[in-house]
Amino acid sequence: MRREIPLILTAIVGITFFIQFFVPHSPMRELSETFSDWYSIISAFAIWLGGLNLMKISFEKVYKKDKDWFFAVTTIVSFFLILIVGLFFSGGRQYLEQGSGYDWLYRNIYSPLSATMFALLAFFVASASYRAFRARNAQATVLLLAAFIVMAGRTPFGDWITIYLPEGWRLSNLSNVIMNYFNVAGQRAIMIGISLGIVSTSLRIILGIERSHLGGE
Amino acid sequence: MANKVASGIFIIVILPFLIWLIHKKPQPPSVSYPPYDLTAVLTPYDTAGSVTLSWFTLEGDDEAAAYFPDYRILRSQYQQGPFEEIGTVSFDVPRSTQISRQFRDIAVVAGGDYFYKVVAEVDGEIIESNVFGPITATPGPAGEEPIEVPDIIAFPPTQLKAYDTPNDNGGSITLEWKISASDAARSERFKGYDIYRGASPDGPFEKVGETTSGVSDSERQVKIIADGRDIINGVEYYYYVAAKWNGYEANSEIFGPVKSSQQWFHTGRGVSLVLLGLLIGSILYFINRAKAGKELFIRKIGGLEAVDEAVGRATEMGKAIFYVPGIQDMNNMQTIAGLTILGRVARLTAQYETKLEVPVSRSLVMVAAREIVKESYLNAGRPDFYNDDIVYYLTDDQFGYAAGVDGLVIRKKPATVFYQGAFFAESLILAETGNSIGAIQIAGTAMPAQLPFFVAACDYTLIGEELFAASAYLSREPKLLGSLKGQDLGGKLIFLSLALIFVIIATLGAFTGSEIVDTIQRMFNVN
């Protein structure tokens, strides 16, 4: 029964959503909305599991003085700092309102840290490009050439060095051709494959053929 | 052979025809854009009782209209005429708004009924407006300063139409109207529209909503809004809309009756149903073939073949394996696909007694991943090797999660890292960090924008559909392999054939200037 009940629930919910996509008539819309609400409620409760798990593991690390245990201290302090400030130090306002303690932490600590992580992407793009764009063989050379045209074509430099060529042959135009035709064609092919994969996987799950996400083979 | 010929004919001839037959045909617009759309109101505060006319300009009457012909204003006391010319508006008269013009008829007799129309001759063709009227010239109360065209005159919205909102489960009526000429001024003094609803044309009417100024469809200068407030299916309703201009209101005509109802089928999704039906049919067919014991050939997928090698490498090196299932929740198919691979990896790590770590960014994923890992360890005969801390939660935050995983990778230096699921901007941050410590990395995602990053930074990448094929590929269970074959052969054959056929038709259509390109686009629009 431990396996069958989730399978039956999955089938009911999956078939309901499938029918609702084509049949707007009652009770399909109401049923699908109810199932969506249930999902939101379960997710909301599950966040406790995540938070408690994070604290449990972090406290254990500190208690056992595991390697790098002081990182766990940072996690614990950050967790409780934002929780306590959000709950008790909002000055009588909603914790999300501008000027609250939570808002201050969000703007001055969280946002800069997030932006820093995001900014690292620029350096990683450079290092990954350096590796990917080596002309090791014919295919890699084509990739390198396409990358050069696209990158140079997106800057004034690209048109500057090809100013004497007919307009259609300038780098900005070639760059657009690569992005609008070759790139779009490739992306669409991948998207079609993904869509077929999603339909097939959904069908397997709804029919109960696919059970590995429930812990089975 | 006969089967193959029949399938070919079906795909090349019958299927495109069927799709064309059932696709949702475009409906004629409920609110048209006739020339002018003439309206007339009594000029406020004019004690002489003049009438102010407003109409939308014709095509060509714009800023550059140096030689646009004059508009001739005609008036009659009867709807059928005869009409006499009472004035003209030439192109060099300043327009009231960018898209409308006005004229004030001061030669009216108080108490008289009048009908109006506007006429212009453009390129030898005489274009007439609708006949507006009757309007009774009534002296207004003395008030503020005499009003100059086009100041503070509120013009009503016109051509109000209401109809049952299509493809819904009732409880909604959609309203469309041609915007008020006052709205065309794009002035801050225009305060939008109030929507009134009543159960009979005589009222009482109750305000059921309001909306801002502007248009929903700029081509037709039309505002569209759905009224879903306490609508009971099958009950008749009447509507009017009031335009609010600088403290004044101008009401449209009353429209009704109109009833809302539920629809049994979403007419915009007929093509989707046919294609989905074919795909599902193809998958089920191959599942049955697989169940019957037919040998199915599945091409090799490098990324999945390398799973054993990657786990083996970590075992030999005595280092951990990291498994990152993306940053989306369990309602994302990629996460589910990623977790199915986790089951296989966990089983191998249990067999080889290799340390596995699964940092997750969603609580539900944590719960599901634990179940999967636990079951895999049980199946591998090593339940003693399992503990809940193999799968642990970091944070829901995208970059917080990336920072957390990066930190763990740098400190613990795993031999192998799997990225299987939905990834966004953090994909390269994670993969480059893993690359920097020399870990063997196997990625898989169905996010097309992230694939190049994974290809550049990882040793193997499952591209799109390969991620969804992983479960079947790794388990080698006939039923799963059958579904894979159905998706691969049936699905792709149908969709590629259709793509080819419609590309040829669309290309021919583009060269001949036919409307078929638009029709084909509409066929595959899912709304």
pLDDT confidence band for B65 (50 / 70 / 90)? low
Of the residues A53, A71, A118, the best mutation for testing chain B's interface (the one with the most B CB atoms within 10 Å of its CB) is: A53
Predicted confidence (pLDDT) at residue B493 exceeds the cutoff of 80: yes
Q: Is a pLDDT exceeding 90 seen at residue B112? A: no
**Token couple for A28:** 């399909």
Q: Does A121 touch chain B (CB under 8 A)?
A: yes
Phi, psi of B209 (to 5 degrees): 175, 170
Interface test with chain B among A20, A22, A60, by most B beta carbons within 10 Å: A22
How is chain B split into domains, by residue range?
Answer: 39-136, 158-258, 302-478
For strand B460-463 and strand B113-122, is the pairing parallel, antiparallel, or unpaired? unpaired
- pLDDT given at position B146: 55
User: Is the pLDDT score of B188 beyond 80?
Assistant: no
Q: What is the pLDDT of residues A177-214, one digit of tens each?
A: 999 999 999 998 899 899 999 998 999 889 888 887 77
Q: How far is A36 from chain B (nearest CA, A)?
A: 10
Q: Which ipTM score applies to this complex? A: 0.91
The pLDDT score that the predictor gives to residue B8 is: 74
Confidence category of residue B416, pLDDT binned at 50, 70, 90: very high
Residue B151 confidence (pLDDT): 57
CB interface of A with B, residues 95-114, below 8 Å: 113-114
Taking an 8 Å cut-off on Cβ atoms, the answer to whether A120 and B429 are in contact is yes
Structure-model confidence comparison of residues B348 and A211, the more confident one: B348
CA-nearest of A120, A195, A145 to B448 is A195
- Give me the sign of the Cα torsion angle A90, A91, A93, A99: negative
**Residue B458 amino acid letter:** C
Q: Measured between alpha carbons, how far is residue B471 from residues B276, B327, B331, B468, B474 in Å?
A: 22, 20, 18, 7, 5
Helix H or strand E segment including B231: none
Nearest by CB to residue B446, choosing from A120, A194, A199, is A194
More confident residue, B174 or B270: B174
The two structure tokens encoding residue B103? 């004229």
Percentage with pLDDT > 70 across chain A: 97
> In CATH, which superfamily holds the domain spanning B158-258?
Immunoglobulins (2.60.40.10)
Residue B140: Cβ within 10 Å count: 15
- For residues A8 and B475, which has the higher predicted lDDT (pLDDT)? A8
Q: CATH topology for B302-478?
A: Rossmann fold (3.40.50)
Interatomic CA distance for residues B16 and A22, integer angstroms: 21
Domains B39-136 and B302-478 share a fold: no
Q: Which of A42, A48, A190 sits opposite B464 (nearest CB)?
A: A190
User: What is the rounded CA–CA span in Å between residue B418 and residue B434?
Assistant: 10
CB atoms A201 and B333 under 8 Å:
yes
Mutate to test the interface with B, among A10, A16, A67, A117 (most CBs of B within 10 A): A117
Q: β-strands B237-245, B222-227: how paired?
A: unpaired
Residue A19 vs residue B520, higher pLDDT: A19
CATH number among 1.10.600.10, 3.40.50.410, 2.60.40.10, 3.40.630.40, domain B39-136: 2.60.40.10
| Band of residue B66 on the pLDDT scale cut at 50, 70, 90 | low
Report residue B253's pLDDT band, with 50, 70 and 90 as the boundaries. confident
Instruction: Give the nearest partner residue to B169 out of A25, A128, A205, using CB atoms.
Output: A25
Q: For residue A21, what is the enclosing H or E element?
A: helix A4-22
Q: How far is B355 from chain A (nearest CA, A)?
A: 16
Q: Per-residue pLDDT averaged across B4-11, rounded?
A: 74
Tell me the chain B residues in contact with residue A210 when contact means C-beta distances shorter than 8 Å: 340, 471, 480
Instruction: Decide if A200 and B455 are in contact by the 8 Å CB cutoff.
Output: no
pLDDT confidence of A111, banded at 50, 70, 90? very high
CA distances for A41 relative to A36, A47, A48, angstroms: 9, 10, 12
Question: Per mean pLDDT, which of B16-25, B230-239, B261-270 is the most reliable?
Answer: B230-239
Provide the residue type at B255 as one letter. Answer: F
Please report which confidence band the pLDDT of residue B425 belongs to, taking 50, 70 and 90 as the band edges: very high
Helix (H, G, I), strand (E, B) or coil at B159: strand
| Residue of chain B with shortest Cα separation from A110 | B400
Whether residue A197 and residue B487 make contact (CB cut-off 8 A), yes or no, is: yes
Count helices and strands in chain A by DSSP H and E runs: 9, 0
- Percentage of chain B beyond pLDDT 70 is 93
Which two structure tokens, joined as six digits, stand for B432? 């480059």
Task: For residue A26, give the nearest of B169, B375, B477 by CB distance.
Answer: B169
Q: What pLDDT shows up at residue B32?
A: 61
- Residue B150 pLDDT exceeds 60: no
Does the pLDDT of residue A217 top 60, yes or no? Answer: no
Interface of A with B in 142-201 (CB under 8 A): 187, 190-194, 196-201
> What is the per-residue pLDDT across A82-108, written as a single tens digit (0 to 9) for each?
999 988 887 778 888 888 889 999 999
Q: Nearest CA to CA, how far is B464 from chain A (Å)?
A: 5
Q: Do B471 and A210 touch (CB under 8 A)?
A: yes
Average pLDDT over residues A142-149: 91
Of B340, B446, B456, the CB nearest to A212: B340
What mean pLDDT is reported for chain B? Answer: 85
- Give phi and psi for A91, each to the nearest 5: 60, 40
Contact A29 B403 (CB under 8 A): no
Name the residue facing A54 among B379, B393, B456 (closest C-beta).
Answer: B393
Closest CA to B313 of B349, B358, B346: B349
Q: Is A204 on the interface with B (CB under 8 A)?
A: yes
pLDDT for position B103: 85
Q: Is the pLDDT of residue A124 over 90?
A: yes
Write out chain A residues lying below 8 Å of B279, CB-based.
196, 199-200
From first CA to last CA, the distance across chain A in angstroms is 16
Cβ–Cβ pairs < 8 A, chains A and B: 200
Residue B220's pLDDT band (boundaries 50, 70, 90)?
A: confident
Q: CB A121 to CB B392 under 8 A?
A: no
Q: Do B343 and A212 touch (CB under 8 A)?
A: yes
Closest by CA position to B37, among listed B53, B21, B15, B14: B53
- Determine the distance in angstroms separating the CA of B375 from the nearest CA of chain A, rounded to an integer: 5
Q: Residue B178: its pLDDT value, please?
A: 87
Average pLDDT of the segment spanning B354-371:
93
Rounded Cα distance between A211 and B340, Å, is 8
Other CB atoms within a 10 A radius of the CB of residue B216 amount to: 13
pLDDT digit string, tens, across residues B369-413 = 999 999 999 989 999 999 989 999 999 999 999 999 999 999 999
Residues of B whose CB is below 8 A from A24: 167-169, 262-263, 266
Over residues B37-43, the mean pLDDT reads 83
- Measured CA to CA, the distance from residue A61 to residue A79 in angstroms comes to 15
| Local structure of B404: helix, strand or coil | helix
A76 to chain B, minimum CA–CA distance in Å? 12
Better-scored residue on pLDDT, B47 or A41 = A41
Q: What is the pLDDT of residue B21?
A: 77
- H helical segments located in B292-332: 302-317
- The listed range with the strongest mean pLDDT (B19-23, B156-160, B180-184, B425-429) is B425-429
Min Cα–Cα distance to chain B from A165, Å: 28
Residue B463 has, within 13 A of its CA and on its CB side, a CA count of 18
Report the pLDDT averaged over residues A113-125. Answer: 93
Mean per-residue pLDDT over chain A, rounded: 89
CB within 8 Å of chain B, chain A residues 25-64: 25-26, 28-30, 39, 42-43, 46-51, 53-54, 57
Residue pLDDT, tens place only, B446-492: 999 999 999 999 999 999 889 999 888 888 888 888 888 888 887 88
Report long-range pairs for B376-379 (Cβ below 8 Å, ≥24 apart): B376/A215, B376/B342, B376/B343, B376/B344, B376/B346, B376/B347, B376/B350, B377/B346, B377/B347, B377/B350, B379/A217, B379/B347
